[in-house]
Amino acid sequence: MQITTYDAAVKTGIRMMTNLAAWLEKAAQHAEARKIDPAVLVSARLAPDMFPLARQVQIASDTAKIGAARLAGAEAPAWKDDEQTLPELADRARRTARYLETLQPAQFEGAEDRVVRWKSRSTEREMPGLAYLLHHLLPNLHFHCTTAYAILRHNGVELGKMDYLGREPPA
């Protein structure tokens, strides 16, 4: 069996967004149990020059949905980055997973050779689909999810490796 672009982009995105939502739900329970203002977690960051938790979640969501849509030749939904609570951030992660579930394997046929074009902050970029998947989409998705996880762990939320990997076997 060979791995497909669909498997790597969509199934990985669904899994990470589902796991991220679960971490954020645990964070809300942690804050409530310890009488911590949840806004402290939402605005927490690992270093002064890094984005806070809320922005890490928003970027992870955008990376998953926009990256998969680019590979599928589809248009991703545009969402405002206005989440201010842990439940709103968890909902965003779940909405992202639901969007990814709408994408079909047939949309990804030939995606590894399709040229993906996008604008970054300072330039326009392009890559063949496989390079985009392996060197842009997946590393960025895991970077922002890992950073969100690390922010929560650093702030005492009881998360472990199985929370990161996911407790359910992949589909």
The answer, yes or no, to whether residue 158 has pLDDT greater than 80, is yes
Average confidence score pLDDT of the chain: 96
User: What is the CA angle 69-116-107, rounded to 5?
Assistant: 40
**Is residue 171's pLDDT more than 70?**
no
Model's pTM, two decimal places? 0.95
* Crossing angle of helices 12-33 and 86-102, rounded to 10°: 160
- When pLDDT is cut at 50, 70 and 90, the band that residue 170 belongs to is low
Q: What is the pLDDT of residue 168?
A: 73
d(CA 125, CA 118): 5
Report the pLDDT value the prediction gives residue 47, as an integer from 0 to 100: 97
**Per residue in 98-130, pLDDT tens?**
999 999 999 999 999 999 999 888 999 999 999
| Record: fold of 5-165 | Four Helix Bundle (Hemerythrin (Met), subunit A) (1.20.120)
Q: Where are the domains of the chain?
A: 5-165
11 touches 122 (CB < 8 A): no
